[in-house]
Amino acid sequence: MRHKFYRLFLTVAIAFVSFSCKNETKESQIAVDTKNNKPNIVIIYLDDLGYGDLSCYGATAIKTPNIDALATGGVKFTNGYASSATCTPSRYALLTGMYPWRNKNARILAGNAPLLIDTKQQTLPKMLSKAGYQTAIIGKWHLGLGSGYVNWNETIKPGPNEVGFDASYILAATQDRVPTVYIENGHVVNLDKNDPIEVDYKKNFKGEPTAKSNPEMLTMAWHHGHNNSIVNGIPRIGYMKGGEAAKWSDIDMADHFLGKAKNYIKTHKDNPFFLYYAMQQPHVPRTPHPRFVGKSGMGPRGDVILEADWCIGEFIKTLEEEGVLENTLIVFSSDNGPVLNDGYYDEAVEKLGNHDPKGGLRGGKYSLFEAGTRVPFITYWKNHIKPNVSDAIVCQMDLLASLGNLVDIDESTTDSKNLLNTLLGESQKGRDHLIIEAKSHTALRSGDWIMIPPYKGKTINKKVGTETGNSLEYKLYNLKKDIGQQNNLAKENPQKLKEMIQIFEGLKL
C-alpha cells in the first residue's frame, strides 16, 4: 500500500516537475508536494472500553454503528493489545513506543504527579513533527504534569507540549481525579486569578467539604475510594480548592472535546496533522449527556458508550465534510480492558444483563488475564485499506515504528515493531512475542500461547470484582483453543512452559 501510495506521488511529482518551466522552483515545489501527500493520522483512544463492548466485536445488547463502520471498512484486529491493564502505562507505551515496565514510575498517576515522559525521550508527536506534521492532543492525558510541584495558576509545564504536541487541550489525569479543569497549552481554561486553584492528594483544605463530611452534597455515591473533594455533586480522588469558574461540566465533557476535535480538523486540514483524540468514556464517573441517559438500558456505562459512538460518528462526518476523510488514517483502540464497579454506585453491575464487556475473555481492567489488555483495535483509511479481519498480534506500542515507516522516518526503537503492512491490512504477520503488563506484573504472549509467571498478591480484586491473574503457580494457556483461559497447561506441557519462560526472560533483559 505504502509503495503504491508513493508510486502515485512520484508520478504526480514527475508530472509536476516536467510541467514547471523555471527550474529553480522545482525542488521546493517537490518538497511541498511530499508534505501534502502525507495522510493525516488520528488516534481515537477510549478509556476502559472492553474487548466485547462494541457490536463489531460481538456485543448484541449494545449497538455502536459508527465504530462498527470503521471496523467493517477497515481492519478489525482480534489480537490487538494495549501494553497494560491500566491507563498511564498504556498511554506511555502508545506515545513513546517503549514497554512501560522499563520505567518504574509508569503506574496509575495522581492528578498532581510529575510528567512521566522525559522531555528528551522519543515520542510519536515528536517523530511526526519531524515529518512535517502538525500535532495535537485533545482529551485525557494522565501522564503527569510539571516536574514535582505544580502551580495550577501559572504556566503548567513540562507537559504534552514539551514532549512533542504543538497543541494540547486536556484533562490532567482522569475524570474522577482533581483538578477537574481543562488545560489548554499549559494554562487552565477560564481560570479566575482571584480564585486560585490548589490541589493536594494527601490532605484536605480547611473548611472544604468532602464526600465523607458532607454526604448530603452528593449526586453520585462512592463505593470505594472517591471520597475526597466534591465537584458537581460527584466525589473525586484528591482535594481541590478554588477554580470555581474553571471547573468542567461532566455531562458536557464529551461534547466539549468533540467540539475541540472538530474545530482542530477545520483549522488544520490544509496541512498534514496528527490528532490524538483521547476520549474519557466509559471510565468513571460515567456522566452521559442527558441526550443519552437511559438510551442503552444498561445504566450510565452503556449510555456513555453510545455517547462515545455518537461522538465518533460526528467526528468522522467532520473529516468527510472538510474533504480529508480519504486522506486520513484512523486508529481506534482503548487503553485497557473493562471494569464495571470502579468505585461508584452507578448500576453498571446491576443493569449489565447479558452484555459481556470482556467478550469472552478472562479478567478485566487491572488483570494480567486477557481482558486486561486485549482490546478493540481498528485501523481505517477510506479507499486505502481493504476491509479485513486480522488475527495478527499487534500492540499500540507498535504505532511509533509503524507510523514512522509510513511517513518515512526511520527511528531506532527497542520495543516498538514496524507492523505497517499489517496495520494497513496488507499482511497478516504480527508480532512473534509481546509482554503484557498489569500493575507492574508481566506475562508473555507468544504465538497462540500465553504464560503468566507466579505472582504473590490477591487473586481477586474484591472491590472491583475481577481476577488479578496472580497465583503461586505458572499458568500456561493456548489462547487459540482456550480463549477464556480455563485450562492451565503448565503441568501438562512442561516443554512449552520452559520455552516460554526462556523467551520471557530474554525479552525482559
- Which residues have a Cβ under 8 Å from the Cβ of 425 and sit 6 or more positions away? 1, 74, 75, 379, 385, 386, 387, 388, 390
* Amino acid present at 107: R
Contact 422, 377 (CB under 8 A): no
Record the cell numbers describing residue 137, joined without a space. 492532543
Beta bridge partners of 176: none
Contact 98, 104 (CB under 8 A): no
Record the cell numbers describing residue 84, joined without a space. 497494560
Least Cβ distance, residue 126 to ligand NG6 (angstroms): 24
User: Quick one: 424 or 464, whose CB is closer to ligand NG6?
Assistant: 464
Side-chain half-sphere exposure of 296, counting CA atoms within 13 A? 34
* Pairing of β 134-140 and β 273-278: parallel
* Pairing of β 377-380 and β 344-345: unpaired
Q: Please name the residue that has the C-alpha cell 456505562.
A: 301
Could you tell me the CA-to-CA distances from 442 to 141, 144, 300, 498 in Å, in that order? 24, 23, 32, 16
Least Cβ distance, residue 306 to ligand NG6 (angstroms): 20
Record the cell numbers describing residue 245, joined without a space. 469558574
User: Quick one: 318 or 373, whose CB is closer to Ca ion?
Assistant: 373
Least Cβ distance, residue 369 to Ca ion (angstroms): 16
User: Quick one: 87 or 423, whose CB is closer to Ca ion?
Assistant: 87
Residue 284 binds which of ligand NG6, Ca ion, none (CB < 5-8 A, kind-dependent): ligand NG6
Q: Which residue is nearest to ligand NG6 (CB)?
A: 225
User: Quick one: 47 or 356, whose CB is closer to Ca ion?
Assistant: 47
Residue 225 binds which of Ca ion, ligand NG6, none (CB < 5-8 A, kind-dependent): ligand NG6
Q: Please name the residue that has the C-alpha cell 513513546.
A: 96
Alpha-carbon distance of 342 to 365, in angstroms, equals 9
Least Cβ distance, residue 86 to ligand NG6 (angstroms): 4
Residue numbers of the site for ligand NG6 (CB under 6 A)? 47-48, 86-87, 108, 142, 174, 176, 224-226, 237, 283-284, 336, 342-343
Least Cβ distance, residue 141 to Ca ion (angstroms): 12
User: Quick one: 47 or 398, whose CB is closer to Ca ion?
Assistant: 47
Residue 134's nearest CA partner among 1, 14, 36, 279 is 36
Q: Please name the residue that has the C-alpha cell 468532602.
A: 210
Residue 142 binds which of Ca ion, ligand NG6, none (CB < 5-8 A, kind-dependent): ligand NG6
Record the cell numbers describing residue 290, joined without a space. 442527558
Residue 363 binds which of ligand NG6, Ca ion, none (CB < 5-8 A, kind-dependent): none
Q: Which residue is nearest to Ca ion (CB)?
A: 87
* Pairing of β 328-334 and β 40-46: parallel
Q: Please name the residue that has the C-alpha cell 527497542.
A: 414
User: Quick one: 242 or 372, whose CB is closer to ligand NG6?
Assistant: 372
Environment class of 149 (CB within 10 Å of its CB; exposed 0-12, middle 13-18, buried 19+)? exposed
Least Cβ distance, residue 82 to Ca ion (angstroms): 8
Alpha-carbon distance of 107 to 372, in angstroms, equals 15
Alpha-carbon distance of 431 to 433, in angstroms, equals 5
Least Cβ distance, residue 47 to Ca ion (angstroms): 4
Residue numbers of the site for Ca ion (CB under 5 A)? 47-48, 87, 335-336
Residue 108 binds which of ligand NG6, Ca ion, none (CB < 5-8 A, kind-dependent): ligand NG6
Least Cβ distance, residue 223 to ligand NG6 (angstroms): 8
Residue 373 binds which of ligand NG6, Ca ion, none (CB < 5-8 A, kind-dependent): none
Residue 176 binds which of Ca ion, ligand NG6, none (CB < 5-8 A, kind-dependent): ligand NG6
User: Quick one: 142 or 256, whose CB is closer to ligand NG6?
Assistant: 142
User: Quick one: 88 or 422, whose CB is closer to ligand NG6?
Assistant: 88
* Amino acid present at 370: E
Rounded to 5°, the CA angle 420-426-427 comes to: 80
User: Quick one: 64 or 336, whose CB is closer to ligand NG6?
Assistant: 336
User: Quick one: 283 or 475, whose CB is closer to ligand NG6?
Assistant: 283
Least Cβ distance, residue 281 to Ca ion (angstroms): 10
Least Cβ distance, residue 493 to Ca ion (angstroms): 34
Residue 174 binds which of Ca ion, ligand NG6, none (CB < 5-8 A, kind-dependent): ligand NG6
Contact 497, 478 (CB under 8 A): no
